[in-house]
Each structure stands twice: as structure tokens, then as C-alpha cells.
Amino acid sequence: MVIAGVDPGSVQTAVSWVTPIRPGRVRHIGKAMVPSTAYAIGALLDTIGPTLVAVECAEGGVFAPYRAKHLLAAQYAGGIVAGLAAARGIEVVTTSAQAWRRAVMGTLKRGQTYDEVIARLLPSVVECFEKGNVHTRDATGIAVWASMQMAKSKSSKS
């Protein structure tokens, strides 16, 4: 099983794909930054062939007016990802940044450095990726969150 975590952006979309090992642990397979276009996203989905796509979406919060157009564009890119995945018969789940970060990394303190955030994510990831950017880190975190949700739903069905 391959899970693709997606952090959509207004211009570029980050995708990280993993395979679950056990609840809360995944093996990192790869990552990519692709243009936020249907063609680029569709081509990547066809290449990696995930069985589940987890997409980050906005949740509440206070957004400054100058960020509104970027937020709308990112949400639009997330919709493109979800639509293309669903059209290919791939299961799609969504989560907010706040929800996956709480579940995967616990409560983060304001002002933590990138390295401190990565250090809290790495124990969940085996054969981890080299340090990427904040978006590929988030895409990996979203994939870890999705694997945790799958494990929870399997255990509740048992």
C-alpha cells in the first residue's frame, strides 16, 4: 500500500509518498514538488500509483487579507488533487494542518526551528528523506497522519 500525502500550494504542490510499516510508523519512498496544475498532479499520481491520497485543507484560523488569494489558490490545487485521485479510483481523505500536526507531532511551541519540528516528525518515518523544504515535510506528516488514521479504523473494526 502506498499513501501519498499532499500539501497543496498556490504555485507548487508538495507530495510525499510512504508505505505503512505498523501504526504510526512508515517507510518513506519519495517526495516531489510539482506545479499546481492538473497535468503535473495527474502525471505524478499515475507515476506513484497510491492507494490512498491524504490532502491538507484549510481549517478556520485567522488569515491576513494579503494571504487570501494564495489560500484560495492552494485550496483550488487541493481540490484538483482530490478530484484527479477520485477519478482514478483512489481513496481520498482530508485533514487540516492543525489536526495532522497535533496527531503526529503533539503540541508545537511557537517559534520552534525547522530542525526541532523535523526531529519530532522523524521518529514516525523509517529510512527518512534528506531534509527538504517545509512543504515536503508537511506532505510527509500528512501521509504519516493518514497511516495512523487507517490503523485506528482497522483496530475499531476488529
Residue 24, pLDDT score: 72
Mark 16-40 as b/e (b = at least 16 C-beta within 10 Å). Answer: bbbbbeeeebbebbebbbbebeeeb
Q: pLDDT tens, 111-155?
A: 777 667 667 676 677 666 566 678 888 898 899 999 989 888 776
How many whole angstroms separate alpha carbon 113 and alpha carbon 111? 6
Q: pLDDT tens, 65-124?
A: 666 777 788 888 999 999 999 999 999 999 988 888 888 877 767 777 766 766 767 667
What domains sit in the chain, N to C, each tagged with a CATH number? 3-157 (3.30.420.10)
Query: Quick one: which of 41, 21, 147, 120 has its CA closest to 86?
Result: 41
